Amino acid sequence: MGGAETLLRTLAGYAVKSGIEVNFLTTCARNHFTWENELPAGTRTIDGIQVHFFPVDGDRDIERFLRVQEKISRGKKVTPDEEQTWLRNNVNSSALLAHLREAGPRYERIILGPYLFGLTYFAAAVDPRRTVLVPCLHDEAFAYLTAFGDMFRNARTIMFNSAPERDLAARLYASNLATMPVVGMGIPAFTADPKALAQRLGLSSPYVLYAGRREPMKGTPLLLDYLDAFRQRTQRDVKLVLTGSGPFDPPPALAPHITDLGFVDEQTKREAMAGAVAFCHPSVNESFGIVVLEAWMADCPALVHARGEVLRHLCQTSNGGLWFRGYPEFEESLVLLLDQPELRNALGQSGRRHVRKEFTVEAVTQRLLAALSR
């Protein structure tokens, strides 16, 4: 699961533990590139939640979808008709929408997210008066579509993940959205041995960690280029450890110094965070930062891109990390963390304190229940 899916599943779990009956509606797809129906349709109970799986529609006109998407991605103006063409040929599930129309009246709230898909847009239109949107919004070309502006303005409540995400929505759609709640996601407390992963892997050099999908939207090509330049310019032996999924194409000189762990269990991820000199998250397209919060719980400082307003905001409010606008600041920040372990430790510990204050399961559950009762 990606961050948005993890967030929604986690919030559903909080609601169940608070005594709320939850039905979780999702699709039979597992791959966000192909959207093939891999899972069987039907209802199953998972972790105390009734989960309803619906097939993804197979009648998409991919050519028309991509033609409009390319225009949107390039920042070109599209007409309302083109927006609807893009939404209708986006990811959709007629079966899920039919369920909402038929069974929806017995649902007190319809919580939807993330904002970007046709399915979310059309589900939000079933009954906007009961719709609670969890948009996972960031500043990208698709956020400027007129259709999404209508969806944001019509929803009963919007639960944001961060204050910068809420500020962006208020700028784009309506100023009164600035009064909507910020909920986020809780991070359970844990401890991890900072030496465990390095000992298992035989790593004797410091390493930077990245966890998540490897793709341009997440900034992983930038991280590869920057770390390659750092090694060549400073002649310092800093490694890169990756967890998560997706292909990547490192510079030849950097490739031997990368350890790709792929998908790992929670304890291995936590140990990787605890032992890293920094957790680097170079994305500028985030509405939250689950992995950054997890890294702070492991006492690991964050190193983020300054253009990523949400991640920079997290670092500023927690004093748990540094940010860079370009390569020179990346190099200076990494040198600081390498040469001043007391600074590295202080930043990580400050981040941990922030998480244990603002992002405990209890604190987020209270914010969730308050948002649902608006």
Closest CA to 258 of 292, 224, 305: 224
Average pLDDT over every residue of 308-337:
97
Report whether the peptide linkage leading into residue 252 is cis, meaning its omega lies within 30 degrees of zero. Answer: no
- The pLDDT assigned to 213 comes to 87
Evaluate if residue 243 carries a pLDDT over 90. Answer: yes
- Average model confidence (pLDDT) for the chain? 95
- The pLDDT assigned to 177 comes to 96
> What's phi and psi for 31, nearest 5 deg?
-115, 120
Average pLDDT over every residue of 21-44:
92
Rounding to the nearest 10 degrees, give the CA dihedral for residues 223, 201, 270, 289: 10
Burial of 148 (0-12, 13-18, 19+ CB in 10 A): buried
Tokens representing 241 are 């450890």
User: Looking at the chain, which residues constitute the CATH 3.40.50.2000 domain(s)?
Assistant: 3-186+362-372, 196-358
Tokens representing 351 are 């981040």
Evaluate if residue 2 carries a pLDDT over 90. Answer: no
**Would you give the distance in Å from CA 16 to the centre of its chain?**
22
Q: 111 pLDDT band (50/70/90 cuts)?
A: very high
- The pLDDT assigned to 1 comes to 66
What are the residues whose beta carbons fall under 8 Å from the beta carbon of 294, sequence distance 6 or more?
Answer: 187, 269, 270, 273
Give the whole-angstrom CA distance, residue 277 versus residue 300.
Answer: 7
165 near 288, Cβ under 8 Å? yes
153 near 259, Cβ under 8 Å? no
Evaluate if residue 171 carries a pLDDT over 70. Answer: yes
- The pLDDT assigned to 245 comes to 87
Evaluate if residue 253 carries a pLDDT over 90. Answer: yes
- The pLDDT assigned to 143 comes to 96
Side by side, the strands of the sheet bearing 42-46 are: 23-27, 49-54, 42-46
Report CA-CA distances (Å) from 110 to 60, 162, 210, 211: 25, 21, 34, 31
Evaluate if residue 235 carries a pLDDT over 80. Answer: yes
What are the residues whose beta carbons fall under 8 Å from the beta carbon of 143, sequence distance 6 or more?
Answer: 115, 137, 168, 172
> What's phi and psi for 176, nearest 5 deg?
-70, -10
- The pLDDT assigned to 47 comes to 86
Written as one letter, the residue type at 160 is F
Share of the chain above pLDDT 70, in %: 100
The predicted-structure confidence for 199-218, as pLDDT tens digits, reads as follows 999 999 999 999 988 989 89
Average pLDDT over every residue of 138-167:
95
Tokens representing 163 are 């204050």
Average pLDDT over every residue of 165-181:
96
The CATH T-level fold of domain 196-358 is Rossmann fold (3.40.50)
CATH entry, 3-186+362-372, from 3.50.50.60, 3.40.50.2000, 3.40.640.10, 2.20.25.90 = 3.40.50.2000
The predicted-structure confidence for 57-71, as pLDDT tens digits, reads as follows 999 999 999 999 999
Tokens representing 52 are 């309803």
The predicted-structure confidence for 326-373, as pLDDT tens digits, reads as follows 999 999 999 999 999 999 999 999 999 999 999 999 999 999 999 999
Give the whole-angstrom CA distance, residue 300 versus residue 279.
Answer: 7
Q: 32 pLDDT band (50/70/90 cuts)?
A: confident
